[in-house]
Amino acid sequence: MSKCRNCNVEILDETEFCPLCHSVLEQTEELENMYPDARQKTQKLKFVTRLYLFCALVVEFLLVIIDFHGENQVHWSVLVGLGLLYVYTVLRYAVLGKSGYRAKTIVLVLLAVLITVAVDFITGYRGWSVDYVASGGILLVDVIIISLMIWNRRNWQSYLMWQIAMILFSLIPAILYLIGLEHNFIMAFLPLIVSVFLFIGTLMIGGRRAGQELYRRFHI
């Protein structure tokens, strides 16, 4: 606890200057900080993240040496590395990142889809990741966007940009089907259909607010 001789007031919080006259306070007794030390907690999380990254690099290096000195048809060390990378992304982006919860959720889902596709290619590419997982991941993100719009009804128009992004992402399975890399017609075009109708429905139901959001973003 501190006291200001000029203002004759006692200050309960830990500070060196009076909030009224800004003169130096006189310390009267010890008092714990009235507010939680968020910076200290963040520093601990950053330290844990850096420690995890170092340990992950060491473990992956050792696994690569063991893996490539064997006669394995599938390089399992790369699969472990992808898993370690995803965990680090969760720590660095989802826990310590300053992005909003919606961006974190959608980005982590899309990253999981990309890692799954990479696993399919590493294990010999049977096409299951492209035929089902990639399209299913896009549909899952569309469901998440709808859920977030319902939950955050006052700011639903802010999800229009994510809807546009999902339309662009949903073009990938359709293009892969047209060039012969995807073989499931329904799963190839269903994400595109759902994403387009979700965007059109938002514009029609949102009316003027949706138009204002597009104008604010693109000035059209």
The stretches in the chain having pLDDT less than 70 are 1, 11, 13-14, 22-23, 25-40, 72-74, 220
Which pTM does this prediction carry?
0.65
Question: Which are the contacts of 177, defined by CB distance < 8 A and separation ≥ 6?
Answer: 183, 184, 185, 188, 189
The CA-atom distances, in angstroms, between 199 and each of 37, 107, 134, 214, 218 are: 43, 19, 20, 12, 16
Q: How many CB atoms lie within 10 A of CB 170?
A: 24
Do the beta carbons of residue 167 and residue 195 sit within 8 Å? yes
Write down how long the chain is: 220
Do the beta carbons of residue 163 and residue 198 sit within 8 Å? yes
Question: Which are the contacts of 100, defined by CB distance < 8 A and separation ≥ 6?
Answer: none
Segment holding 66, helix H or strand E: helix 38-68
For residue 36, the model assigns a pLDDT of 55
For residue 28, the model assigns a pLDDT of 65
- Residue 166 CA to residue 161 CA, distance in Å, equals 9
Question: Which are the contacts of 25, defined by CB distance < 8 A and separation ≥ 6?
Answer: 2, 3, 4, 11, 15, 16, 17, 18
pLDDT in tens, 16-45: 777 777 667 666 655 455 455 556 677 888
Three-state SS for 104?
Answer: helix
For residue 31, the model assigns a pLDDT of 47
Do the beta carbons of residue 153 and residue 134 sit within 8 Å? no
Backbone angles phi and psi of 50, in degrees to 5: -65, -40
Site of tokens 């269903």 = 190
Which sequence spans correspond to the domains of the chain? 1-35, 126-220
